[in-house]
Structure 1
């Protein structure tokens, strides 16, 4: 941002007295907008950040921000146990449990917000911050459902704030190397992509625990639930196993897709898919019966989405989780790892193949011996400062002044693509009583769902559209 010029004479004297009074009051660092409105660079040139969700990944996020020209001014978490390390690390930061109270009381005292809470609350927290003109960094996946992703993408442009999603691999060298190989035509036109993960590493495909437990005194359970339907607290859901339940999480695809699908999404310039289909694994309830539990994400899944390339030809993207992997390419040696072992992405083109691990790391041409001997010109700038400091620097510069790796204009459509896979997975479990005989029919299974990306609508199976936009619990709203 350009620093505002002080007026001569009395104006300079007034500014001097004003800044002196602030210093005398003990304010070492003042939010940038306080001294001169938006666009003003504070004398300290430091970004003041409020963290929402500051335990676990949130703790590591704000620690990374603090390595740049940023100070952690406020901490907010519904669970004091999870927040304890951050409170100790940043003793000058004021602590809140309710992000709404913090935004209401303190919004004039910070510049940006980091959101690292369970998936179901990302959108409402990020939107509230953006509507106050705050820059936002939101952990992956950006949102819990497709509609939320579209709304946050539009809001970033509307409110002119700097945004970044927490898929740090998008700032890595690996994805840029893949782009340079592809742009150089080394593997030709890609027609098929495989993405896979060994996640979940938390329980999925199980019935809900009906045993009510006592809520820990440090946890505000109602605030933790946020937008989700009210349910009694159960053991072992917090802080991690919520990922396997649709009310709160987005399963293995939501957790890892932003890291593994991001490289092909960026390299190939993918937009909205045109269709999606899937198959899912089930569990054995007893010796003779397999079970499906619609409240819980399945133990494994295989999702196939179709995209159009710039020439109008199909690209098939396969997602596999729960340990399912594609067949090893013939060019890969029998003892060589595919991807990074448990996770990876494989690009199959008309002239060749390439692959990478999670976050786009360790990019390889196939056979791998070609990687060291193939040289292409570096055409894409690297991000030596890293994903976190890149966002801090962009916030300090101001909206539209610096390039980011995963702003919402990129992260939003990527998240929508990932959540399209979940829409198909959830449609698989829609059941209707049979018109004749006993039991249920599953009309969403074994069909291809046709997607109108512009209008966010499945056009050939209307029941699936309930998963585009969920209903919030009473008292909660996205505010749009």
Structure 2
């Protein structure tokens, strides 16, 4: 892989300077790494999911860690006692620019964009948790930057390395169920619409609340937001769609080589009480229409936060435990989850297993590490694959919040047919966190 050059523009160096105007970023200065040389890795967010990602890369040199919550980060801070510790990723990336090769980002959704943007503009390779960013615009910006800077990237779709998913992809592509015309995907449960806080206790001493909020509009601290329920507040999270959509929609996107939809709509119009300006919903039913392209004909992809039970029954198939996806083809159906699939043919036949064509992953984090060292692009690279996937996931949220569907021109980045859409496509950063588009 071609590595960025060692030139560097002046960078806005501290939080105080950053608060004065637009955050422009800089050009790269990361050193090259050979296949046998260890990467110097910085981890942003090391508690919770971040701790698992630290484990995924701890065979490399972890030279820095950043977390706004000293309590959640405490065990990892102690384990990697020689790594430099920070609360503000902006300061870390600026001070250690020459020492860092790659960055792992495992923060809440609303604070993915800024560290990923800064790191890639500095020429650092980036591993970022799903759903890549907080809005469709942020995802598109990160995709553009990743391509421009030619860095190795990987979205945290770790189930992509499951053998069962590879076998499902092979089965769909084998044509055993004919041409796929429709796909249903869903996550169960009813998480969302958390209680609106009425009391606001003091910020815990171990938490930097201002940095935790980052680019979001300022509000008083509440345990209803942090450390976990942020996922169900629009200012910080993307609901169950953002939480699970990139994992589950990974199955049809991979199998059918999907890119961008040209229409986003609702399968079920939510009531006024379901669309909340602050909180994510307990359920939603959306669909994305994809035009015919290489890998598939025109098809409809349904994304639901809710049960697919009635859909499975309608198509006379019994899902296996863990199934979350139904492919409907001209010759039959395939039900699938992360660990495998089942074929049901319209004629009652019993097909043989599809030929294995997808090589075993060396490990999801290892794919990215290999790419950082000049190997092939990782399977969930932003540019080639997960940029369009993450955009589609967030477009489904956009249709729900806008109360209706719209036509989507991905090339022009333009929605038509619904005047409510644009406000949800774009980001609205608080003062000091503004950025100039790349």
Question: Which TM-score tier does this pair reach, normalised by the shorter chain?
Answer: 0.7 to 0.9
For each residue in 1:222-255, what CA deviation from the matched residue of structure 2 results, as whole angstroms up to 9, or x when unmatched? Answer: 1000010000111232111001111000011111
Q: Which runs of 5+ in 2 are unaligned?
A: 4-27
Pick from 208, 221, 243 the counterpart of residue 233 of structure 1.
221
Aligned to 1:415: 390
| Cα distance in 2 between the residues matched to 1:40 and 1:86 | 25
Secondary structure in 2 matching 1:270 = coil
Shift of 1:319: 1.2
| Cα distance in 2 between the residues matched to 1:339 and 1:462 | 42
Aligned to 2:377: 403
Root-mean-square deviation (Å): 2.6
Instruction: Select the structure of larger CA radius of gyration.
Output: 1
Is the counterpart of residue 391 in structure 1 residue 371 in structure 2?
no
| Cα distance in 1 between the residues matched to 2:98 and 2:242 | 34
Is the counterpart of residue 50 in structure 1 residue 34 in structure 2?
no
For each residue in 1:251-298, what CA deviation from the matched residue of structure 2 results, as whole angstroms up to 9, or x when unmatched? Answer: 111110001011101111112112122236569xxxxxx565221111
Aligned to 1:259: 247
| Cα distance in 1 between the residues matched to 2:315 and 2:381 | 36
Aligned to 2:65: 75
Q: Which runs of 5+ in 1 are unaligned?
A: 4-32, 284-289, 429-443
- Greater relative CO (CA pairs within 8 A, separation 6+): 2
Shift of 1:301: 0.5
| Cα distance in 2 between the residues matched to 1:151 and 1:161 | 14
For each residue in 1:151-206, what CA deviation from the matched residue of structure 2 results, as whole angstroms up to 9, or x when unmatched? Answer: 111111111110000001222222322222222210111111110112454xx235
Question: What TM-score, normalized to structure 2?
Answer: 0.87
| Cα distance in 1 between the residues matched to 2:90 and 2:190 | 32
Identify if the C-alpha distance between structure 1 residues 38 and 110 changes in structure 2 by more than 3 Å, giving closer, same or farther.
closer
Aligned to 2:325: 345
Bigger mean CA deviation after superposition, 454-463 or 96-105: 454-463
| Cα distance in 2 between the residues matched to 1:380 and 1:244 | 36
Identify if the C-alpha distance between structure 1 residues 81 and 274 changes in structure 2 by more than 3 Å, giving closer, same or farther.
same
Is the counterpart of residue 327 in structure 1 residue 311 in structure 2?
yes
Aligned to 2:282: 299
| Cα distance in 2 between the residues matched to 1:146 and 1:371 | 43
Aligned to 2:169: 179
Aligned to 1:365: 343
The answer to whether the Cα contact below 8 Å between 1:175 and 1:267 also exists between their aligned partners in 2 is no
The answer to whether the Cα contact below 8 Å between 2:89 and 2:115 also exists between their aligned partners in 1 is yes
Pick from 21, 25, 32 the counterpart of residue 39 of structure 1.
32
Aligned to 1:286: none
The answer to whether the Cα contact below 8 Å between 1:276 and 1:450 also exists between their aligned partners in 2 is yes
Aligned to 2:25: none
For each residue in 1:51-85, what CA deviation from the matched residue of structure 2 results, as whole angstroms up to 9, or x when unmatched? Answer: 0011000011011111x4x1211110001111012
Is the counterpart of residue 98 in structure 1 residue 88 in structure 2?
yes
Aligned to 1:153: 143
| Cα distance in 2 between the residues matched to 1:130 and 1:297 | 30
Identify if the C-alpha distance between structure 1 residues 453 and 325 changes in structure 2 by more than 3 Å, giving closer, same or farther.
farther
| Cα distance in 2 between the residues matched to 1:148 and 1:331 | 38
| Cα distance in 1 between the residues matched to 2:280 and 2:320 | 25
| Cα distance in 2 between the residues matched to 1:389 and 1:406 | 12
**Residue-pair matches, total:** 409
Pick from 125, 150, 159 the counterpart of residue 169 of structure 1.
159
Secondary structure in 2 matching 1:144 = coil
